[in-house]
Amino acid sequence: MYLTDSDLKAIWLTVRLAGIVTLILLLVGTPIAWWLARTRAWWKGPIGAVVGLPLVLPPSVLGFYLLLAMGPKGPVGRLTQALGIGPLPFTFWGLVIASVFYSLPFMVQPLQTAFEAVGERPLEVAATLRASPLDAFFTVAVPLALPGFLTASILTFTHTVGEFGVVLMIGGNLPGVTRVASVQIYDHVEAMEYLQAHRLAAVMLIFSFLVLLVLYTWRPGTKKGV
Amino acid sequence: MTGIQARFQLNWPGFNLDVDLELPGRGVTAVFGHSGSGKTTLLRCMAGLERTPTGRLIVNGEVWQDERHWLPTHKRPLGYVFQEASLFTHLTVMGNLRYGRSRLSNGHKVSLEQAIELLGIAHLLDRKPERLSGGERSRVGIARALAVSPRLLLMDEPLASLDVKRKQEILPYLERLHDELDIPVLYVSHSSDEVARLADHLVAMEDGRVLASGPLAEILARLDLPICLGEDIGAILDTTVAEVDNTWHLARMEFAGGSLWARDQGLSVGRRVRVRVLARDVSLAVEPPGNSSIQNALRGRVDAMADDDHPGLALVRVQVGDVMFLSRLTKRAAASLQVVPGQAVWVQVKSVALME
């Protein structure tokens, strides 16, 4: 067997995490991006900066604050305990929430750019053709911004797959629960299992390359005249 | 109650719109003026694309907005043709036409087939907009606006982005629209040619205000608007082809008060044709003209005169029968002819343009 069972488990966990985070961010990030693309409010700047923070912040810093917030004494932790869910750190869902924050800019920024490129005119046209704003959003803005949705989803997914610092802070290293592929590689190296580390690292490398290859070569809707 | 009442005020940095208009509830009303005069903004206000809390718009008895009501754009039964055709690039031509169509609730006066046939786009239905020429795009844009069976059609320089040849290709379709559909149209343009050809009613705008509003011929015969109309000031006549002279390839165009010879363009006798006579092509004479290359000479009476936009020029309005002609003269010529209101003169017309 090329990969061990625990390697496969880690890969499956990583895919599940990245998939769930991408879905959540599609739901959460789309309205944020839409708002950022169209608002003229003065707090567009500050909100945009907050959304972009994870791009520049060391993951450990982000992880540290999230750990405090979700810990037993933090505001989020108290809420989850009061609801009977218990504290979130070192659970899969804690990792999901942390990753949502960590990957937020990778969803919002490409979407914002795509919505800005669509512009006001198609929506005005839709309004003169009897489409309500919500109707126009789904039947005009979304289809026209579809390449942006694709880019944003792929970037979010791959970025979540590649995260490491936040995982260590929030998730720790529990097999099958929070031990994702990047952590698994780290474990192999720590244990001097270089062959295992090589194999898993190669899988990650090939996966990342293939995704980027798709992203850079196949772009629907960018044919001439659009 | 028929008619359109529109009152809008907007105060933007560097631009004010202040408009209070009563427009006919049928036919084509041209909104004419230089760029920046507020034509497009007026149209956007009527469509509800600009918020005007103090605005008031009543279209043939239906209140679209006043102090208490405000219909959002998608609830206004209008059609809007944007300056660039602005087709949805993710849909085919048919998809574009159906977009508005499928969102209609009640009875439609215009059928989808009618819109397709009127604009001659039946062969384009399966294409994506990127595979259409500029002229075809414009026609699809117009058909799409018609397909929602609007009770008011707003057209914002639908031909502005096209070259002369494409314009000539589309104008006949617009004329058919005018003749075959009973939908009031507001047509924004800065081309006096299009206005002369299509409009029944004219609104002249400048700096966000209305300079004049009234029936086309009446406004064009006004002497106080030369700045607005510039080189293209002149008279519009509704004429009938009275006879065709096959020897000289000329047609006699009859109007209330006389007739004019124009180049024969293959029109049949009895056909009604709109004719334009530019002020710069009209000269005046006190004596009956003798031998001259100018074949059209009419007897008229000086009605009024005014300064033109150039200090050396004057505009003279002459009544011939029921029709007003405008003549652009140098002030020196006017002085040497001693032109005064009430004086009988000969009107010599050098060139007649058939708006066909």
Residue-wise pLDDT tens digits, B294-348:
888 899 999 888 888 788 888 899 999 888 898 998 999 888 888 889 989 999 9
User: Could you say which of B177, B195, B220 is where a domain stops?
Assistant: B220
Question: Rounded distance, CA B112 to CA B148, Å?
Answer: 8
Q: Are residues B108 and B193 in the same domain?
A: yes
Does A15 map to a domain? yes
Closest CA to A90 of A62, A104, A65, A71: A71
Using the Cβ of A226 and the Cβ atoms of chain B, whether some distance falls under 8 Å is answered with yes
Domain membership of residue A100 (yes or no) is yes
Q: Are B254 and B239 in contact (CB under 8 A)?
A: yes
Looking at the domain assignment, is residue B227 inside a domain?
no
Of B220, B253, B280, the domain-final residue:
B220
Determine, yes or no, domain membership for A226.
no
- DSSP structure class, residue B231: G
Closest CA to A67 of A58, A54, A80, A76: A76
Q: Are residues B255 and B162 in the same domain?
A: no
Does one domain contain both B84 and B111?
Answer: yes
For residue B88, give the nearest of A127, A140, A223 by CB distance. A140
Number of structural domains chain A divides into: 1
- On the CB side of B351, how many CA atoms lie within 13 Å of its CA? 7
Beta-carbon separation of B103 and A130 below 8 A:
yes
Which chain B residues have a beta carbon less than 8 Å from that of A139?
Answer: 99
pLDDT in tens, A163-183: 888 888 888 888 888 889 999
pLDDT of residue B354: 82
Q: Is the pLDDT of residue A226 over 50?
A: no
**Are B131 and B199 contained in the same domain?**
yes
B89 contacts on A by Cβ (under 8 Å): 144, 225-226
Inter-chain residue contact B90 with A221, CB threshold 8 Å:
yes
Domain with A104, as residue range(s), is 5-41+50-217
Q: Where would I find the H helices in chain A? A: 5-38, 44-56, 59-70, 75-82, 92-118, 121-128, 133-136, 142-144, 146-161, 165-166, 181-190, 194-217
Range of the domain at B19: 4-220
Give the chain A residue nearest B132 (alpha carbons). Answer: A225
- The reply to whether B229 falls in a domain is no
CA distance B151 to chain A (A): 12
pLDDT greater than 80 at residue B133: yes
The yes-or-no verdict on residue B210 having pLDDT over 60 is yes
Q: At B66, which CATH number?
A: 3.40.50.300
Disruptive mutation site among B43, B64, B89, B108 for chain A (greatest number of A CBs within 10 Å): B89
Do B213 and B318 lie in a common domain?
Answer: no
Q: Alpha carbon of A8 to those of A21, A106, A200: distances in Å?
A: 20, 26, 9
φ, ψ at B346 (rounded to 5°): -100, 130
Does residue B203 sit in the same domain as residue B284? Answer: no
The answer to whether A166 touches A132, Cβ cutoff 8 Å, is no
Please indicate, yes or no, whether residues B310 and B208 belong to a single structural domain of this protein. no
Let me know if residue B59 belongs to a domain. yes
Q: Do B214 and B238 fall within a single domain?
A: no
pLDDT at B232 over 80: no
The C-alpha atoms of residue B142 and residue B172 are separated, in whole angstroms, by 13
Q: Looking at the structure, do residues B214 and B244 belong to the same domain, yes or no? A: no
How many Cβ atoms sit within 10 Å of the Cβ of residue B56? 17
The number of distinct structural domains making up chain B is 2
Q: Is residue B28 part of a domain?
A: yes
Whether pLDDT at A212 is above 90: no
Nearest-CB residue to B73 (from A128, A139, A225): A128
Q: Do B72 and A127 touch (CB under 8 A)?
A: yes
Task: Flag whether pLDDT at B252 surpasses 60.
Answer: yes
B244 contact A CB<8A: no
Residue B216 has a CB neighbour count (10 Å cut-off) of 22
Query: Do the chains contact at A225 and B89, CB–CB below 8 Å?
Result: yes
Euclidean distance between CA atoms B89 and A224, whole angstroms: 11
Q: Kind of pairing, strands B62-65 and B56-59?
A: antiparallel
pLDDT at position A220: 58
Residues B186 and B289 in one domain: no
Q: Domain of A187: which CATH number? A: 1.10.3720.10
* CATH number of the structural domain spanning residue B312: 2.40.50.100
**Torsion angles phi and psi, residue B272, rounded to 5:** -90, 130
Which of these three, B220, B251, B279, is where a domain ends? B220
Q: Are residues B195 and B301 in the same domain?
A: no
Asked if A99 and A17 count as a contact pair (C-beta separation under 8 A), the reply is yes
What is d(CA A162, CA A54) in angstroms, rounded to the nearest whole number?
14
- Model confidence at B140: pLDDT above 60: yes
- Contact B61/A at CB under 8 A: no
Q: In terms of domains, do B58 and B103 share one?
A: yes
Residue A223 lies in a domain: no
Q: B49 at the A interface (CB within 8 A)?
A: yes
Confirm whether B288 is domain-assigned: yes
